[in-house]
Amino acid sequence: MTLRTPLTPLALVRTLIVVLLLGGAESLHAELPTLRLSVLQFGTAHWELDHLKRHGFDREAGFDLQVRLVANLPASRIAVSSGDVDGAVVDLTWAQARHEAGQSFRYLPYSSQLGDVLAAPGQVIRDIEDLRDKRIGVAGGPDSKSWVLLTRAAQARGIALEREARVQFGAPPLLSQSLKRGQLDVLVTFWHFAAELTAAGDAEVALPMASVLASLDIPTGLPILGYVFHEAWALEQEALVTQFARAVAHTKRELRDEPEHWAALRPLMRVSDDDHFEALRQGYVQGIPEPLDAPRIQALQRLLELAGVRPGETMPASLFVQAPSDER
C-alpha cells in the first residue's frame, strides 16, 4: 500500500493555479467564433476545406470552421439563403441574381475554373461554326456559366446556338454517360467532370474556354466561383471573414506548392486511377484565382453584363472581398 504525502499549502496553491489556467485555456478555446459553411459532399471545395480543417488553419486564424456537406447545389444555396449556414460556394451568376432580388452577398473568390467545350472522339470541332446542328449537352441549366459565355461568343459570330443546335440540359453524370454512349456530339460541363472524361480518353477538348473568353475580350483567371456570405452578416463579422480569407489563402498555397498533401485528399476525390487523380489535382491548382483588385472586379462586372445583366445593375465593388493586405 502506497502512502501519499499530503500537499503542502504552497503545492496546493500551485495546483489550483494550474487548474485555473487550464480551465481558462479551455474556455478561450471554446469561445472561438464559429463559421458554418455548406459545400457539396463530392465537390472541389470539400477538398480545400478538409485540408484547412485537418491542419488547424481555422484555429490558427482565430475561428472554428464547421462544414456541412450537402448532396447538391440547390441544397447549399437554400442553406445559405435561409441563414442555416453562414456561407457556401456558389456561382458568380447566382450571387448576382440574389443581388438583383434584394438579397446581397459578399463574394470571396474560390476558383476560376471553367469546363472546356468537349467533343466526343471522332467529332471534328475546330471553331464555334462547327457547333451548328450538333447535339450539345449542357450541365446545369440555361444559366450555366460556360454555356452563357459560349452562346455570347456564338452570337458575336451571328450564330444562335439555342436554335441552330440540339441542346439538352441535364445533370453532369448523366450527360457524361450520354456522351460516352454516342448520344451527344458535344458537352459543356463542369471542369472536374471534363477532367475525368478527357483523362479517360472518352472526350477531347474541342474549344478551350480560354479561347472563348479571349473572343469576348474577357481576361482569363477570373473567379467565377466564390464563397458567399450575407452582406449584413459579413459587415457584422468583418474580422471573421478576413480571418477565413487568410486561412483559405494559406490552404491554397499549400495545395499548390506541396503536392504531397494531396494523398490525404484522394479518398474525397472518388478517382479510379492516377491519371484521373492528377487531372483533378492540376485542375484545382490551375483554378486558384489571383487576388481581386479594382481592374479585376471591373472585369467580373463586365462578364456579368455579357451574361445579360444591365449596366449599372451588376454587383457593386463593395460586395467583392479583396485579399487582406498581407496576402497580396
Give all strands (DSSP E) within 166-254, no chain letters.
166-170, 186-188, 204-207, 225-230
Q: Which pLDDT belongs to residue 177?
A: 96
CA distance 281 to 93: 25
Distance, C-alpha 130 to centroid of its chain: 31
Instruction: Note whether 274 and 266 are within 8 A (CB).
Output: no
Q: What is the pairing mode between strands 186-188 and 135-139?
A: parallel
| DSSP one-letter code for 244 | H
Q: Which pLDDT belongs to residue 324?
A: 59
pLDDT digits (tens, 9 = 90+) for 146-184: 898 999 999 999 999 999 999 999 989 999 999 999 999
- Total residues found in the chain within this entry: 328
Q: pTM for the whole thing?
A: 0.82
> Going residue by residue through the chain (328 aa), what tens digit of pLDDT does each one get?
444 445 455 555 455 444 444 554 444 445 899 999 999 888 899 999 999 999 999 999 999 999 999 988 889 999 999 999 999 999 899 999 999 999 999 999 999 998 889 999 999 999 999 999 999 999 988 888 889 899 999 999 999 999 999 999 998 999 999 999 999 999 999 898 999 899 999 999 999 998 998 898 888 899 999 999 999 999 999 999 999 999 999 999 999 999 999 999 999 998 889 999 999 999 999 999 998 999 999 999 999 998 889 989 999 999 999 865 444 4
**Strand partners of residue 230:** 105
Q: What is the pairing mode between strands 64-70 and 34-40?
A: parallel
Looking from the CA of 97 toward its CB, the CA atoms found within 13 Å total 12
Instruction: Note whether 255 and 48 are within 8 A (CB).
Output: yes
Cα 323 to Cα 101, 108, 113, 320, distances in angstroms: 27, 9, 19, 10
Helix, strand and coil in the chain, % to nearest 5 = 50, 15, 30
pLDDT digits (tens, 9 = 90+) for 62-107: 999 999 999 888 899 999 999 999 999 998 999 999 999 999 999 9
Q: Which pLDDT belongs to residue 111?
A: 95
Q: Which pLDDT belongs to residue 30?
A: 58
CA distance 223 to 37: 19
Q: How many other β-carbons are positioned within 10 Å of the β-carbon of residue 232?
A: 12
